[in-house]
Amino acid sequence: TAGSTSRFFQFKLVLLGESAVGKSSLVLRFVKDQFEEFRESTIGAAFLTQTISLDDQTTIKFEIWDTAGQERYKSLAPMYYRNAQAAVVVYDITQSASLDKAKSWVKELQRQASDSIIIALAGNKADLNESRAVPTQEAAAYAKEAGLLFFETSAKSNENVSELFEAIARKLPLDA
């Protein structure tokens, strides 16, 4: 019947950020709703997909490229972000240097990736608030100025993980 047309969209999303900030853990939480205290480091990059429904008619499939944060893999990153429609740049709220690293990824994306790429900044490990090194306001102000979506997340306690991906989905162009 009229109005019941269903829509399906597929988007490529890349995760970037310093090693050990929790990129793989965020993906594992989003895709499998699991958390592991001790995880093997990602070698190169890992690929996973997750499908969400945005509303009764709209289904979004994320093709997720989880890149390794180590410096020796840095030259591979452009391969993953080049045709990505969305990027999640992750830092660890307990490590201020990881926010500096995140900012440099954002700069690189804004220079080299697609002009229309949607970038989200995720301050992960929000469950470790007692060890916080980056004030929420500082990161929020930076994100606003740089035009990024911003969430503080925890892959461990499952805080704002689905919210993060859903907010990205809602900014993706769905008029095809």
Residues that bind ligand GDP (CB under 6 A): 17, 19-25, 36-39, 41-42, 69, 124-125, 127-128, 154-156
Q: Judged by CB, which is closer to ligand GDP: 40, or 145?
A: 40
Least distance from ligand GDP to the Cβ atom of residue 124, Å = 5
Please report how close the Cβ of residue 51 comes to ligand GDP at its closest, in angstroms: 22
Q: Which helix (DSSP H) or strand (DSSP E) does residue 164 occupy?
A: helix 161-171
Amino acid at site 102? A
**What is the distance, to the nearest Å, from the Cα of residue 47 to the centroid of all Cα atoms in its chain?**
13
Residue in the shown chain whose Cβ atom is closest to ligand GDP: 22
Q: Which two tokens stand for residue 122?
A: 């995720």
Taking the least distance from each CB to ligand GDP, the nearer of 85 and 124 is: 124
- Smallest distance from the beta carbon of 91 to ligand GDP, in angstroms? 10
The rounded distance, in Å, linking the Cα atoms of 120 and 140 is: 11
Tell me the H-state helices in 3-150. Answer: 23-32, 77-81, 96-112, 136-146
